[in-house]
Amino acid sequence: MTSFSRATHKISIAGDLGSGKSSVTKALALALHVQRSSTGDIQRKLAADMGMSTLELNTYADTHPEIDQHIDNQLKLLESSSEPCVIDSRLAWHFVPSSFKVYLLVNPVIAATRISGDSSRQSERYQDISEAQQKILERKLSENHRFMVTYGVDCTRLRNYDLVIDTSQILPQDVVARIQQERATWIPGQPTQLWLSPQELLPTKNTEDDGQLVGVIYSMGRFFIVHGHRRVAAALTAGEPSIHVQLIAQDEERLPQGSTANEFATAQFHADLIRLWEKRYNFTFKHIPLR
């Protein structure tokens, strides 16, 4: 079992709603024999005590800064503490900069299914998957906007993190193992490491290019393959739940050829190509951006 020395210090885990942050942080803290801190637990308790849903609490917090201040102060104390810990928080990467920063992604349809089936989320009950997906998106947008206005930070920027893992197709124990493996070889300042489900990577070419390392851009919440289609195809054929990829650009960042990630995604999005990819590798994308 991997030990967690005081020199290793802290691991912060942020991520999408329904990505499994709570399960992963609990299992990771148990495996490393350290304390776990969760702002999600604090938020849900506050919401329940105030008779609100978590979305309503987030909206309330837009005009009541004392909500965020209360949570922020708890995180700031962790940065100055000498005790190692695992932190479940969307802003711990910002308030605990000394931590190994992890972000967990998940397909929005899978997230809605997970949250709808979670009986422990009493303040987050939905009539169906469609409503859950819409409310999750609203909550995410509300939080991201508030964090940008209040702190000037963008939680959706993947380069803020040391490790990004897509949990759509893998179990919490496998996420825990990946975090431990990547943390053991982590060098501060190195590029963000991404492990993504091949079923979440949208093709941009009909040919399977020879690139062994998969390069992607991230635009409007989706990943598009720039090079490495052959590697992704092999992963789909073999049923691999997760593969290592390189982030080339995100949103308004520019690719080497000059276009931004958003421009590349718009130009290379072809519904017919995506349907051909699905038919060829016998699966269906659960969520495709609208054009």
Domains of the chain plus CATH, in order, are: 10-102+122-158 (3.40.50.300), 197-281 (no CATH)
> What does the pLDDT look like over 165-201, one tens digit per residue?
999 999 999 999 999 999 999 988 899 999 999 999 9
pLDDT at 289 over 60: no
The secondary structure of the chain in percent helix, strand, coil, rounded to multiples of 5, reads 45, 20, 35
283 closest CA partner among 291, 221, 219, 274: 274
Phi and psi of 152, rounded to 5°?
A: 70, 30
Residue type, 109: V
Whether the CA torsion 28, 114, 219, 38 is positive or negative: it is negative
pLDDT at res. 233: 94
pLDDT at 36 over 90: yes
pLDDT at 290 over 70: no
Q: pTM here?
A: 0.86
194 closest CA partner among 182, 204, 209, 211: 182
pLDDT at res. 190: 92
pLDDT at res. 7: 43
> What does the pLDDT look like over 78-105, one tens digit per residue?
898 889 999 999 899 999 999 999 999 9
**End-to-end alpha-carbon separation of the chain, Å?**
48
Mean pLDDT of 211-220: 89
